[in-house]
Amino acid sequence: MNNKSMSQGRRILTAVGVALLFGVSAPAYSAEETRSAETILQETCGTCHSSGKLGRASAITGADFSRMRGQRKTPEGWLMTIARMQVTHGVNITQDERRVLVKHLADSQGLAPSESESYRYALERRLNEVEEFRDSESELAELGEMCARCHSGARFALQRRSQDEWEHTIHSHLGQWPSLEYQAFSRDRDWFEIALKDTVPELVERYGLESKAWDEWQENKPAADEFNGSWSFSGHYPGEGALHGVMTVNHQGDDNFAVEVRGKYVDGRDFSGKGSAILYNGHEWRANINIDGTQMQQLFSVIDGKMQGRMFEKKFFERGLDFVGAHESTNTVLAVQPSYVKAGEKATLTIVGTGLNAVPNLGEGVKVEKVTQQSPFLYTVKVAVDKKAATQRKVLGDGEHAALAVYQQLEKVTVTPDFAVARVGGDGGHVEKLQGRFDALGWAKNGDEEVLLGVMPAMWEVSPFDEDAKANNDVKYAGTLDASTGVFTPAVAGPNKERSMMSNNIGNLNITATVKDGRKKVSGSGQLVVGVPVWTITPIP
């Protein structure tokens, strides 16, 4: 395991799940007889959850269902709750009815955009995200030790509950997992007493049910037809490269949309397809898109005409791109591709955005020689950079990708992620391999200031991370690294008779990227742990 990560007691998210994952018993209703959310609540949920005279009424059709009334969650959070009711308590509903219920609950008892903003990495299935809930220097350290030692901190941070509900959660945890008090970070303390007396008040203060942000959001949710039209987008797909295009959205009623994507990678390869989307709670965008024969999912938050999140393969969720889009009614620069130019050289740049009617100021020393393509969504220009131009990073729009860097020479290369986990699998088994995908970030200097250039092409190498990895021959057995793309494909799962004690094909590896800058070569490294398969996959880890 990663020495740096373990020494600081931090949790790394290595896998999250797909939507309709859990098994369902034989449906009591046919697909043609899908019940409304109100009917499901009354006829199915209400058989266990009493309603009426239980305190403040929730937004659920004015009814006051016990337990449900004191919670707000994301669509994935409600999905997990309903699936738990099915698995643990034998609740009998069809998949269509589950979708109806998730939609209703996420709309009426969801999270405001500001409430989910800091924890969307878990929803977006971002591998290798390192949480700080267990950092000893963090004010959230106790929540990390009490809660995030078993699941991600994002799981509880993406909920809002009343004090009674947080107390119920503590009791149900101990009832369902009675060995909890004997596990690490429990047996060294009176876990149950601390959980009730200290942890619950902390959870209520940070993630309590009542919220000004939620009240304001309910009053200001956008209408679904405001999403109609064209959305310019840009993205970066590790192992594939930068891309851009236009996504057309057509409202079909009931928060459902038809979607068409027309895009290209910067090297000219096509990135196009069609699909459908659904909007939860005025900002939670979920879509299924067939891109050139590959099923992909979109998981975005849409606020004030800006759409941002991840788009990833449905079967292999580690394979995906960071996505940022803007509605045609806005005026902004989303990205410059590539995001850097070198002093004294010429380059072709693609400027992606909306409402573009002129080439934006690209910074001191950058001269536009020719415009080769232009539209409200895209400008392609040929530029020449003064050889004396100072190292700088000019921000052209909104977001980290909407900038152009000019540099004199490359000073440093870092690998991102700097610590990653891949998983063995495949070979006819039930669990697929989980790749590691890396990018090389280039950096220059302006005096003592480091200037980010962006993702740069690199040559990739793999080596043992430490002496133990060398002695165990991890490089040979753990998998292969594509030298030109930075994509690591793990070996198959299962015992290997060539390894000591017939162990699995796990490994601890050093991943090195080398970038050429003229005659100069600059390298940087990150760590990759190749672990065993992930068997339990949930919508929120």
Positive/negative CA dihedral, 121, 122, 124, 127: positive
All domains in the chain, ordered by first residue: 1-219 (no CATH), 224-327 (2.40.128.120), 341-346+358-407 (2.60.40.10), 412-531 (2.60.40.10)
What confidence score (pLDDT) does residue 136 get?
A: 52
Cα–Cα nearest to 252, from 218, 277, 283: 277
pLDDT in tens, 492-539: 998 999 998 899 999 999 999 999 999 999 999 999 999 999 888 889
What confidence score (pLDDT) does residue 398 get?
A: 78
Tell me if 349 sits within 8 A of 380, measured CB to CB.
yes
Helices 200-207, 163-176: crossing angle, 10 deg rounding: 130
What confidence score (pLDDT) does residue 320 get?
A: 96
Distance CA 116, CA 206 (A): 12
pLDDT in tens, 88-143: 889 999 999 999 999 999 999 999 999 999 999 999 999 888 887 654 555 567 88
Burial 450-483 (b: 16+ CB within 10 A, else e): ebbbbbbebebebebbeeebeebebbebbbebee
What letter represents residue 391's amino acid? T
Cα–Cα nearest to 71, from 145, 158, 137, 133: 158
pLDDT in tens, 5-47: 323 333 344 333 333 432 222 333 344 578 999 999 989 998 8
What confidence score (pLDDT) does residue 206 get?
A: 93
What confidence score (pLDDT) does residue 61 get?
A: 43
Quick count: other Cβ atoms within 10 Å of Cβ 185? 16
What confidence score (pLDDT) does residue 444 get?
A: 98
Phi, psi dihedrals of residue 190, rounded to the nearest 5°: -85, 80
What confidence score (pLDDT) does residue 217 get?
A: 97
Cα–Cα nearest to 79, from 16, 7, 29: 16
Q: Would you mind telling me the total number of residues written for the chain in this entry? A: 541
**What percentage of the chain reaches a pLDDT higher than 70?**
90
Give the model's confidence band at 48: pLDDT under 50 very low, under 70 low, under 90 confident, else very high. Answer: confident
Cα–Cα nearest to 370, from 361, 358, 383, 386: 383
pTM beyond cutoff 0.75: yes
What confidence score (pLDDT) does residue 536 get?
A: 82
Comparing 183 with 63, the larger pLDDT belongs to 183
pLDDT at 258 over 50: yes
- 26-40, 250-264, 385-399, 484-498: least confidently modelled range: 26-40
Phi, psi dihedrals of residue 161, rounded to the nearest 5°: -140, 155
What confidence score (pLDDT) does residue 137 get?
A: 55
Give the model's confidence band at 268: pLDDT under 50 very low, under 70 low, under 90 confident, else very high. Answer: very high
- The mean pLDDT value of the chain amounts to 89
Per the structure block, which two tokens stand in for 240? 């594939």
pLDDT in tens, 319-364: 999 999 999 999 999 999 999 999 999 999 999 999 999 999 999 9
The mean pLDDT of 213-237, rounded to a whole number, is: 96
